[in-house]
Chain A
Amino acid sequence: DAGVIQSPRHEVTEMGQEVTLRCKPISGHDYLFWYRQTMMRGLELLIYFNNNVPIDDSGMPEDRFSAKMPNASFSTLKIQPSEPRDSAVYFCASSGRVSISGNTIYFGEGSWLTVV
């Protein structure tokens, strides 16, 4: 089974440039999450979607960050303009229907972003 697919795996860009990270969730999953991982702050939830609708974007650091989910099989996280402090690993994750007992989320392999 295909897991969560992210692209690019690695990106090096110059400060001020636009960065677009892409994610294809597992087919049939209706929750999609974007996380950022850094040494200093650990794993942070940026935003999550349910049925393509953003539910909680309180973790998005500032207006330079935006996320979209135009359909059930695709999402983007965009940073414009990028800054060196945005350097991190960005993970996309997806999960199936929520239940009261909780559910497993499946992570992609991450997009390693370096802004110089």
Chain B
Amino acid sequence: GNSVTQMEGPVTLSEEAFLTINCTYTATGYPSLFWYVQYPGEGLQLLLKATKADDKGSNKGFEATYRKETTSFHLEKGSVQVSDSAVYFCALIRFPYKYIFGTGTRLKVLA
């Protein structure tokens, strides 16, 4: 079946540290891949996406590369800020239009 696996949280980092949140997927074919972010008390917002192998999605300093050979879509940021504290969800979409989300990884950035 189709699934998304994320690393367990919470992840606690100091400001300006390097961030990696691992995401791997299981799916037939080549699904589109997404990272969504949820700030406290809010809904999920699209952070970035990639639609085919080797694509790199990027936004607000975050990046993720679609790796077909390792079925991965790891989220990275070179220097995190306190304002990046949130829950991050990896997701894929399967036709006909069903999103599958990971369990979410909580990030806490300390000043």
Contacts and interface: CB of A to CB of B under 8 A. Distances in A.
B62 to A, nearest CB: 16
Interface residues of B, number: 23
Interface stretch (A13-21, A70-78, A79-87, A95-103): A95-103
B31 A45 contact: no
Given A42-B103, A42-B104, A102-B31, A107 B44 contact: yes
B32 to A, nearest CB: 3
Contacts of A104: 34, 46, 49
Given A43-B101, A43-B104, A45-B98, A103 B42 contact: no
Interface in A28-60: 31, 33, 42-43, 45, 48, 50, 55-56
B18 interface: no
A95 B34 CA distance: 14
